[in-house]
Amino acid sequence: MKHRPCTTSCCFTNSMTTDLLQRPALSQRLKQETADQHERMHQLMAQGDPFSSREAYGRFVTAQYLFQRDVEHLFHDTAVQAAVADLHVRGRQEASLADLADLGMEVPHEAIASDMVVMPAALGWLYVSEGSTLGAAFLFKDAQAKLGLSAEFGARNLAAYPEGRAVVWRRFVGSLDNDQITPDVHDAIIAGANAAYDRFGSLLTRFFQLN
């Protein structure tokens, strides 16, 4: 007995459900599709060796300040505010600025690199910033052990959020993987993350004077 192809709405619905279940979450795609960029940042940091001296570390903080200023510029976008409800606890611009003062470093004055960035690409920029905050635990330990810095002096920009790194990161992932962020904009968010990585990479290359 031959079976006819199913053309009913239930079969169409089941197909859509299967497709949704098989489709990776945005946070997974971001991790997978920016992995090479993430590794490149590790390599630039290794080349720059920011914990070899306070002077070298100051160059890192200068890059950090400019990047965080780019990111926090996006916090003023009402669409970003709607997508990430707890922006008020995020960002490290002020912490980086205070660290520059501690280290006796000059505050750079440059144009905002994210001035033309809007949603949904803005979420990609936040992903890079928040991911670096999560991963800064190891950098913070180096700043303490090798340079004698702390969350109160010189290494504020690497310190954890008051609630803890993991808690705040999980909330951000929840914002990314929310039903309100529809799959049709995922590619734009990933492109935004790659642009943010490019920006931070260019800052590290410049301030560490890398080739």
> How far is Cα 200 from Cα 202, in angstroms, rounded to an integer?
5
The pLDDT value given to residue 150: 98
The pLDDT value given to residue 8: 56
The pLDDT value given to residue 16: 43
The pLDDT value given to residue 11: 47
166-206 residue pLDDT tens: 999 999 999 999 999 999 999 999 999 999 999 999 999 99
**Preceding peptide of 50 cis, ω within 30°:** no
Q: What residue spans define the domains of the chain?
A: 26-207
Q: What is the mean pLDDT of the chain?
A: 92
Q: Between the CA atoms of 48, 68, 201 and 107, what dihedral angle is there, to the nearest 10 degrees?
A: -50
What architecture does CATH give domain 26-207? Up-down Bundle (1.20)
User: Is pLDDT of 10 > 80?
Assistant: no
Q: Between the CA atoms of 99, 118, 22 and 133, what dihedral angle is there, to the nearest 10 degrees?
A: 0
User: Is pLDDT of 128 > 90?
Assistant: yes
Query: What's the rounded mean pLDDT across residues 54-78?
Result: 98
> How far is Cα 115 from Cα 70, in angstroms, rounded to an integer?
8
User: Is pLDDT of 5 > 90?
Assistant: no
Tell me, what DSSP letter sits at residue 105? P
Q: How confident is the model at residue 23 (pLDDT cuts 50, 70, 90)?
A: confident
Q: How confident is the model at residue 113 (pLDDT cuts 50, 70, 90)?
A: very high
Q: How confident is the model at residue 26 (pLDDT cuts 50, 70, 90)?
A: very high
Query: What's the rounded mean pLDDT across residues 38-42?
Result: 97
Query: What's the rounded mean pLDDT across residues 129-134?
Result: 96
The pLDDT value given to residue 172: 97
User: Is pLDDT of 125 > 80?
Assistant: yes
The pLDDT value given to residue 211: 77
pTM of the predicted structure, to 2 decimals: 0.88
136-176 residue pLDDT tens: 999 999 999 999 999 999 999 999 999 999 999 999 999 99
pLDDT above 90 covers what percent of the chain? 88
The gap from C-alpha 203 to its chain's centroid, in whole angstroms, comes to 15
